Chains A and B, each alone.
Chain A
């Protein structure tokens, strides 16, 4: 049986791990390779690295970092953050990443999803969406959550899947950093809309939050950052808890 996945996320800036609360107030939380090794040892199912570096040197340093990570850990990882060219995708995959995640550039140029999935296969193209509730609809934000797009998240999720995305990384901006639990309603609506895997993100604070998102929304994976970075729970604790409550996990 396919296991539900627990995925720590590492935000990377200038080669270091940082984590923002509601996308503000970044704090240095360590070296990416040692963080990756620690999560590997804890039994993480996958890792996500989001590069939020803005400098022009970014591409080179990112590929070098991906190579360094792939040399040290033998588990799947996804790399995202400002990726917009087929060439960048190729370099990152060749350097050892399993998947790339596209966000702002995919919203601006949706054909990037189709050309990348045709070239490299849907299974390595993740579309990441940062979503905030606005009245009666969920709006997609780009540029690290700074720019509203007017796009309905459910419409965008469906379109991304149709264009060839292999997975959706769904972040609730309302819940991110609050530790009040995942946005179950948003996650459930997206899971109902698409037939590709969905990673729920934003808001994990308690063990129950993981159980709730898996049992009530149809999510395939749950992502968390600060919860794991600062050691509130280990991945192993989360998985043992889920296993006890009957959720299929890899122990």
Chain B
């Protein structure tokens, strides 16, 4: 199983790749369309700012290409990579997201009194039974978060898990063969590895 981890200069490629390998995937770290085309699944990781990420994807000619690929094969967005799957972000000055998921990315409001960023281990809840990505993950299990923005989907039925941090927000998504997680499975020890194993084996 060849899995493309898209390298567009936006961090955490190494950890994601190692975690996927431990879970039985053969990783191709690449920013080339040809190589992505040759893989059967795609992971879009990402750490950093929304605009910079969109610019880099555009520079590599990957924006429309990823959208096309997502119609044919499983795609998993992680953290900023997940946010990029939505239509827009409050963080962005101009750049638009890929728009594969309907909805926008918003900043945590300080009015709930929680510190921003949301950083650390938090519980998963409302885990979707039908979603292959979260299969075997139990209510209340913890994963590692590190973010200031979260997605507000326009369609509620794409949420596959939630988390509470001042506000309840959806932190895992799936529609068809496209998946996204706000947390970092590559940093979430055994629970995170279970998610990668699900992506490699069942998605």
Contact = CB atoms under 8 A, between A and B. Distances in A.
A250 to B, nearest CB: 4
A123 B150 CA distance: 13
A95 B11 CA distance: 8
Q: Most chain-A Cβ atoms within 10 A of its Cβ — which of B118, B186, B187?
A: B187
Interface string A1-32: 11101000000000000000000000000000
Interface residues of B, number: 38
Contact of A94 (B11, B164, B189): B11
B115 A195 contact: yes
B49 A118 contact: yes
A196 B147 CA distance: 12
B187 A74 contact: yes
B187 A124 contact: no
B138 to A, nearest CB: 14
B104 to A, nearest CB: 18
Contacts of B148: 121-123, 166
A197 B119 CA distance: 7
Contacts, number: 105
B11 A120 contact: yes
Contacts of A90: 11
Contacts of A2: 114, 118, 120-122, 165
B156 to A, nearest CB: 23
Contact of B192 (A71, A74, A95, A118): A74
Contact of B13 (A76, A94, A124): A94
B117 A3 contact: no
B121 A98 contact: no
Contacts of B192: 74
A96 B14 CA distance: 5
Interface string B127-142: 0000000000000001
B146 interface: yes
B188 interface: yes
B117 A120 contact: no
A250 B18 CA distance: 24
A247 interface: no
A93 B47 contact: yes
B51 to A, nearest CB: 10
Contacts of B58: none
A167 interface: yes
Contacts of A123: 47, 117, 119, 146-148
Interface in A58-73: 67, 70-71
A183 interface: no
B80 A121 contact: yes
Contact of B121 (A5, A166, A195): A5
11 contacts: A3-B120, A67-B14, A74-B187, A74-B189, A98-B12, A121-B47, A123-B119, A123-B146, A124-B11, A166-B148, A167-B119
The 5 closest A-B CB pairs, nearest first, are A96-B14, A96-B15, A123-B117, A76-B187, A250-B121
Given A5-B121, A75-B188, A220-B115, 4 more contacts: A76-B144, A119-B52, A121-B148, A123-B47
